[in-house]
Amino acid sequence: MTENTTIDPLVSEGETQPSTGRQRATQTKSPMSKQSRDTLKWARWFHVYSSMIAFLLIFFFGITGITLNHPTWTFGSDIQMSTVEGQLPFSPTFADNTADYLTISEFARSELGVSGSVDSFETTNDTIGITYRNPGYGADLFVDAVDGTYQLNVEQQGWVAVLNDLHKGRDSGSTWSWVIDVSAAFLVVVSLTGLLMQFFLRRRRRSAFISVAVGSILTVVLTLWVLS
């Protein structure tokens, strides 16, 4: 069986026929290498799952970034202040007249409802002072080292102030500090993997890099303008 071929009569023997448009596209198209495909695959995987895992954290820091930038907004900013006075049922000092900070602090937590971590403690002119801090919360306890009378001043800020303090990592402890670091790492991963994916998508590579360049230039210009 012979194969039917179509020969252009205008082409002389020994010459090759010109390629069609489809043939030229096939000849000029260079397929993506296996290494590039694997890189794109893993970049897409990290981009999708890191953004999904860190969705709530990124959303939280985005919203609180707006509220931090607008401190005059009044919703959720109610402040409750209270003062409690009384006398300790035990001596506030040891036999050598040094302050018993631990026992005083345990009493403040169990009987007076104080929360937060101890920010500072000191004794000045027979007055024992212990300061407690939490995001949006502050408590200052003053105890007379002689007669054991005390005064507790508590300030509880609104939920917006609590969220803003969490955003800044203020009075939030080492655990929340790790949360902030992890959130920042997720943002870096999402940014770099998104850029890496665009590098392997040829149709959008040029427009993507132009967008990156324009955004970077605008950011630098605005930063320099604000600092000038």
Q: What is the pLDDT along the chain (228 residues), one digit of tens a residue?
A: 444 554 444 444 444 445 454 444 444 445 667 777 777 788 788 888 888 888 888 899 999 999 888 887 767 778 899 999 999 999 999 999 999 999 999 999 999 999 999 999 999 999 999 999 999 999 999 999 999 999 999 999 988 989 999 999 999 988 999 999 988 888 888 888 888 887 777 777 788 888 888 988 998 999 899 888
Query: How far apart, in Å, are the Cα atoms of 110 and each of 91, 104, 106, 156?
Result: 17, 10, 6, 18
What's the burial of 161, exposed, middle or buried (CB within 10 Å: 0-12/13-18/19+)?
buried
Q: Taking a C-beta distance cutoff of 8 angstroms, is the pair 111, 127 a contact?
A: no
CATH second-level architecture of 80-156?
A: 2-Layer Sandwich (3.30)
Q: What is the CA radius of gyration of the chain?
A: 34
Query: CA-CA distance, 72 to 69, in Å (whole number)?
Result: 9
Strand order across the beta sheet in which 80-87 lies: 80-87, 149-156, 137-144, 127-134, 117-124
Give the pLDDT score at 10.
42
Cα(175)–Cα(29) distance, rounded to whole angstroms?
52
- Model pTM above 0.85: no
> Which part of the chain is CATH 3.30.160?
80-156
Is 42:200 a contact under the CB 8 Å cutoff?
A: no
Tokens 């006075």 belong to 85
- Distance between CA atoms of residues 194 and 191, nearest Å: 5
The reported pLDDT for the residue numbered 151 is 97
| Residue 190, pLDDT score | 87
Quote the pLDDT of residue 136: 92
What's CA 81's distance to the chain center, in Å? 30
